[in-house]
Amino acid sequence: MNKFKLIENFSIRNKIIAIVLFVSFIVMFAGLAFFAKWDYDRYKSEIQHNLILDAKLVGDYCVVPLTFNDNQQALLALSRLKYLESLDEGYLFDKDGILFALYPDSLQNNNFKDTLGSPTALFIDDHFYIKEPIYFQGKILGNILIKANSDMLKAKMEKILLTMGILLTVLLLISYLLAVSIQKVIAGPIVLLKKHFKRIAITNDYSTRVIRQYNDETGDLFDGFNELLGTIEKQNKDLSESREHYRLLFEQNPVPMLIYELGSLNLKAVNDSFVDHYGYDKSEITQMCLPDLYPEPEKKPIAELTTKIIGRTYTGEWHHIKKDRTIITIEAISHGILYEGRSSRVAVLYDITERKKAEELTKESMLKFRTLFETNPEAIFITDSETLKIYDCNEAACIMNGYTYQELIGQSINVLHPEEIAKVVEDHDGRHQFEEYLQNNKSVTQQSVHIRKNGTLFPIETTMCLLRLGGRTYIMGIDRDITERMHSEEALKQSEKKYRYIVDTANEGIWMFDKELNTSFANARMAEILGYENKEILIGKPIIDFIFEEDLNDHSERMEKRHNGISEIFERRFRCKDGHAVWTLVSGTTIFDENNNFNGTLGLVTDITELKKSEQALKQSEQRYKQLLESITDYTYSVQLKDGQPVSTVHSYGCVKVTGYFSEEYLTIPKLWLNMVHPDDQPLVEHYADPLCEGKEIPPLEHRIIHKNGSVIWVRNTYVLKHDVNGKVIGYDGLISDITERKVAEEKLRSERSLLRIIIDNLPDAVYTKDTNCKKTLANAADVRLMGAKSEEEVLGKDDFSFHTKELAEKFIADDKSVIQSGKPILYKEEFVFNENGRKNWLLTSKLPLWDEREQLIGLVGIGRDITERKLAEEEIRNLNIELEDRVVKRTTQLEAANKELEAFSYSVSHDLRAPLRHASGYVDLLVKRCKSDLSEKGQHYLSSIADSVHQMGMLIDDLLQFSRTGRTEMHRYNSDMNDIVNEVIKSLNQDIPDRKIKWTVNKLPSVFCDRAMLKLVWTNLLSNSVKFTRTREIGNIEIGVQEEENEYKFIVRDNGVGFDMQYSQKLFGVFQRLHSMEEFEGTGIGLANVRRIILRHEGRTWAEAELDKGATFFFTLPKNNQE
């Protein structure tokens, strides 16, 4: 059923008005009802709140009567209820629930006591019931209950309902006016569109358009209507043009066309091409019928055909008679049409007379082709490209392949191919690509192999092309037997192969150039000499590319000789592929053409690089040998003996470098060598001289000589005896070696070892070395004492079992083996040994692997530091810590008890101070509310001052309690993002100062391990201070940042406020310390003290910097990663 049946027959205008009024009424009524309900509840809550406040005030007056059980004072206190306009009754009960007093006193007692267990405030039967407990020093003395009427609430409700009625009437009137305006906007376009429909229906004029007046959906409707009109208009125009185009196509078609009527076969129309081609006038044609155009034999068949092809398209070949009686062959294509309202057919007539003549000529050409095909001496095959079957072949093909004509026709062409060629031919994709290639290239010639009927193979050369016969594609191939030609070519190849082999395997490079001196040939050896892997790369390269710049002049001269026909052999450097030079021996010869003109040059090239290197190496060897002889510090000498006495001495050339004397001087100065020996070493030399002359073998001697320049030289003198054929000593040869540097180094090493030993022996730590068998090879004095020995000799060669108990020795040796086997050190291991008195000596031991100069592990180095005193100190500290922990536990217990007492005291102070403040604040509020109009301006000022002082005292108490709790509250630390905390505080502060302009600059802050609630209080105090002290600025600038130090974060709060004098900066963080008066800036002087206490509990620091009237900067630090 239609829910809107009441308005379904309304006009669209009235429907819009009715809907708008109905919706407006529902919305406005719901909105006003909601507002009325909200206002009613608000006013009701306000009355309840005032009644509760009144009950509290009266209850405070009843504290004394209840305390002292004074009924008269209680009645007097309850009588204050008479000042409350809406109050009806009042009751005062003691703590036991017994009625103590009532108001008015004439009121009879009732069961109002039953409401003592009810909530604080109730609204029942249009009355308010208020219950308020009376406290004193934290104890309930009793309860006060009052009952008030709801007359004020009812009066308020009547006003609300009256206001709703007036507003609803006015708003409905406005909605009606609005609905009238809306219906004009919505219904107007639809009415306009309706009028336009009627006008088009009458005139059939689709060219008119509706003007779009709106940009909403009605405008889109107008556009759609206009598009529909445009489509209809275009279709009408296209239909008209189509008819015109069809007429023009018929009349202007270059192919003759005619239209004839079915049944009568009368010609109804012909085009101009028909008139021109057939020679008839159009007036004559209108008198003719279709059979008149046909020769006599075809008249009846064509007439019968017209009855059979009705309803379908027809194509066929016929003969027509022109006006000049010429007979032509035509191809007719016809289909049915409706012409002038009657069934007809239109026919297109193609003159194919010439095509027929061409086909006759083609038959004649085919006959000639067949004659040539049959008599051709070359073998010819015609093969179907799809089936690969032989379509035709000539007699030469049969003879060449050994088959008869009947055996080949219809066979696959692959009967003539070997298996591997047959697979290629049968590949469909490859065959298709081959056909495309033939279409693009007309013909192709390639070599292949055929199999004769007797199975013999023979090579052929085939020329193939495409043929089109009867709509199918054929491949015609002309085959030639090339067996003899192949034999000749093979013989030529073998000859060339031998020539190539000789050239390519030659040890010399063969390099040929044309007359432009570009490479025309190079063998493999030549490419190898020049560093190329492929000789073909050289072809075409000019010789100049391989000549070094400094050799160009010589190259030009030699090429000039080639031009003159002069041959020669010469050495030449060539540049290889990688740029380095290769030395060659070139035999150059000129190449002449048939007219004896220069036509190039030929070179036989031999690589002589290694020969050149050998020559260079020989030169360098000779030079090095000469330098070696000049630089050698040893020299030889030879002594001839006769009868056991030296008779001559010959010193070699090198003696001058060692001694400063030339070999000739030894011949002219007697006993020069013995005189050169250092005086301290002469007895040693003389001691061995006599046995040597007697033919005894003596060891090499090391002694000093005096150089000619006076310096002392250490030498090593090595002797080798010489014997004659009879074994008799006839002399000896000697080798003198300068060992001065070695002796100096040995002395230095000996000195360093002595110093090192002194240092090791004087170290307080025990230092020792052990071999791979864990036996000591060195021990300093400290280690000797530790082992209980008297000297190092008592320790060396012994292991730990010789000095320690078995258990300790096994541990020490296990560590030694671990170091020796792994090659890894043991560092700072604490262990003990027993001294000679049986007491423990604690050692801090490190053992390191010991390597020789060949990096072979030969043992270990051990260092033991005596830490006995440290261990005793640690033990004493450990005992002290245990004692300290006991003291801390006792002190903590005492502090916890003190904190509990302080907390109880704080609560008592808070409550005892707040009760009088609450009374004072309540009476001030009553005076302002009830008696403000009766007070003078001065009295109102006094009340305002009292209220401000009470509020300030309350804030002071809250801050003191907060300050007290800050030092006692247990901290709950975890990683907290400072950005989140700061943003929360800023958001809270912005809500309290909506009219202030403050520019906040907050830099990226880190996460810190802290108590989040305490840090939020720090940020609140600091940022609220910045907001307060920038109050005098038009725009407050507050910047928050952080600086990362090594072990802590330094947080910064900077503002552009009033600042302060730095001489008072130490007062800032003290309790009750303020630098401004209350009239300038409010506050209690406890906020910054709280900040310092919280930061100190987090092991941080606080300080501030400022300048008067230029702002202030506050700093505090928090440690990094303090999660322990």
- The per-residue pLDDT for range 577-602, each reduced to its tens digit, is 888 899 998 988 988 888 888 889 98
In a domain, 904, yes or no: yes
Residue 172 in contact with residue 1, Cβ under 8 Å?
Answer: no
Mean local confidence (pLDDT), 603-624: 79
| pLDDT tens per residue, range 64-85 | 788 778 788 778 878 877 777 7
Residue 1036, pLDDT score: 92
In a domain, 209, yes or no: no
Strands 1102-1106 and 776-779: unpaired
Distance CA 831, CA 811 (A): 10
Residue 324 in contact with residue 303, Cβ under 8 Å?
Answer: no
Distance CA 255, CA 277 (A): 9
Sheet order of strands, 598-607 included: 519-522, 509-513, 598-607, 581-592, 568-575
Task: Quickly state the pLDDT bin for 1 (edges 50, 70, 90).
Answer: very low
DSSP H or E run through 636: strand 635-642
DSSP H or E run through 379: strand 379-384
Residue 627, pLDDT score: 59
Helix, strand, coil percent content, the chain, rounded in steps of 5: 50, 25, 25
Same domain, 534 and 569: yes
For 74, the token pair is 């209680």
For 525, the token pair is 């050896």
First-last CA distance in the chain:
79
In a domain, 562, yes or no: yes
Mean local confidence (pLDDT), 207-234: 74
What are the CB-based long-range contacts (under 8 Å, 24+) for 446-452? 447/482, 448/417, 448/421, 449/417, 449/418, 449/421, 450/400, 450/401, 450/416, 450/417, 450/479, 451/415, 451/416, 451/417, 451/418, 452/401, 452/402
Q: Which of 131, 147, 174 is the last residue of a domain?
A: 174
Asked if the model's pLDDT at residue 901 lies above 70, the reply is no
Residues whose CB falls within 8 Å of the CB of residue 1079, separated by 6 or more in sequence, listed in order: none
Distance CA 954, CA 920 (A): 12
Q: What is the CATH number of the domain that holds 1101?
A: 3.30.565.10
Mean local confidence (pLDDT), 105-127: 65
CB burial of 900-911 (b: ≥16 within 10 Å; e: otherwise) equals eeeeeebeeeee
Distance CA 1055, CA 996 (A): 15
Same domain, 323 and 380: no
In a domain, 220, yes or no: no
Mean local confidence (pLDDT), 171-180: 80
In a domain, 232, yes or no: no
Residue 107, pLDDT score: 61
Residues whose CB falls within 8 Å of the CB of residue 857, separated by 6 or more in sequence, listed in order: 772, 820, 823, 849, 850, 851
Same domain, 772 and 828: yes
DSSP string, 264-304: T-BEEEE-HHHHHHH---HHHHTT-BGGGGS-HHHHHHHHH
Residue 97 in contact with residue 113, Cβ under 8 Å?
Answer: yes
Sheet order of strands, 257-261 included: 267-270, 257-261, 342-351, 327-339, 314-321
Asked if the model's pLDDT at residue 630 lies above 70, the reply is no
Supply the DSSP symbol for 357. Answer: H
Residue 109, pLDDT score: 55
The C-alpha angle 985, 987, 993, rounded to 5 degrees, equals 105
Mean local confidence (pLDDT), 373-380: 84
- Tell if the pTM clears 0.85, that is, is over it: no
Strand partners of residue 337:
344
Domain count, the chain: 8
Residue 385 in contact with residue 431, Cβ under 8 Å?
Answer: yes
Asked if the model's pLDDT at residue 1050 lies above 90, the reply is yes
Same domain, 426 and 573: no
In a domain, 330, yes or no: yes
Q: What is the CATH number of the domain that holds 918?
A: 1.10.287
Distance CA 117, CA 944 (A): 39
Residue 970, pLDDT score: 74
Strands 1036-1044 and 998-1002: parallel
Strands 87-94 and 766-770: unpaired
DSSP string, 623-634: HHHHHHHHH---
Which of 155-169, 902-916, 974-988 has the lowest average pLDDT? 902-916
Q: Which of 969, 999, 1014 is the last residue of a domain?
A: 969
Q: What is the mean pLDDT of the chain?
A: 82
Task: Quickly state the pLDDT bin for 112 (edges 50, 70, 90).
Answer: low
Helix extents (H) in 669-780: 672-676, 682-693, 740-762
684 to 229, 680, 689: CA distances (angstroms):
142, 8, 9
Supply the DSSP symbol for 774. Answer: S
Length of the chain: 1124
Strand partners of residue 35:
none
Q: How far is CA 411 from the centre of its chain?
A: 69
Same domain, 1068 and 1086: yes
Mean local confidence (pLDDT), 872-879: 84
Q: Which of 820, 838, 860 is the last residue of a domain?
A: 860
Task: Quickly state the pLDDT bin for 911 (edges 50, 70, 90).
Answer: low
Mean local confidence (pLDDT), 327-339: 88
Distance CA 1100, CA 1116 (A): 7
Distance CA 181, CA 74 (A): 71
Asked if the model's pLDDT at residue 714 lies above 50, the reply is yes
Distance CA 569, CA 158 (A): 140
Place of tokens 């974060």: 1049
Residue 722 in contact with residue 731, Cβ under 8 Å?
Answer: yes
* Higher per-residue pLDDT: 183 or 614: 614
Report for 206-220, 637-651, 797-811: range of highest mean pLDDT: 797-811
Same domain, 687 and 573: no
* Higher per-residue pLDDT: 658 or 955: 658
Number of H helices and number of E strands within the chain?
A: 29, 37
Strand partners of residue 457:
451
Asked if the model's pLDDT at residue 539 lies above 80, the reply is yes
Same domain, 170 and 39: yes
Same domain, 982 and 1114: yes
Sheet order of strands, 457-469 included: 390-393, 379-384, 472-481, 457-469, 443-451
936 to 933, 939, 946: CA distances (angstroms):
8, 5, 15
Asked if the model's pLDDT at residue 950 lies above 90, the reply is no
Residue 650 in contact with residue 734, Cβ under 8 Å?
Answer: no
Full domain range(s) for residue 883: 867-969
Same domain, 974 and 1083: yes
Task: Quickly state the pLDDT bin for 12 (edges 50, 70, 90).
Answer: low
The fraction of the chain above a pLDDT of 70, given in percent, is 87
Same domain, 404 and 539: no
Same domain, 57 and 89: yes
Residue type, 94: D
Strand partners of residue 975:
1009
Distance CA 1107, CA 791 (A): 78
- In angstroms, what is the C-alpha Rg of the chain? 66
The fraction of the chain above a pLDDT of 90, given in percent, is 11
Helix axes 12-61, 151-203, angle to 10 degrees: 160
Residue 227, pLDDT score: 78
In a domain, 627, yes or no: no
Q: Is the C-alpha dihedral spanning 836, 842, 844, 846 positive or negative?
A: positive
The C-alpha angle 86, 91, 96, rounded to 5 degrees, equals 155
Q: How far is CA 253 from the centre of its chain?
A: 71
In a domain, 977, yes or no: yes
| pLDDT tens per residue, range 449-505 | 899 989 899 999 898 888 877 678 888 888 888 888 888 777 777 766 766 766 667
3-state class (DSSP) for residue 861: strand
Residue type, 487: H
Which of 103-112, 125-134, 867-876, 968-977 has the lowest average pLDDT? 103-112
Task: Quickly state the pLDDT bin for 157 (edges 50, 70, 90).
Answer: confident
Q: What is the CATH number of the domain that holds 269?
A: 3.30.450.20
Same domain, 960 and 974: no
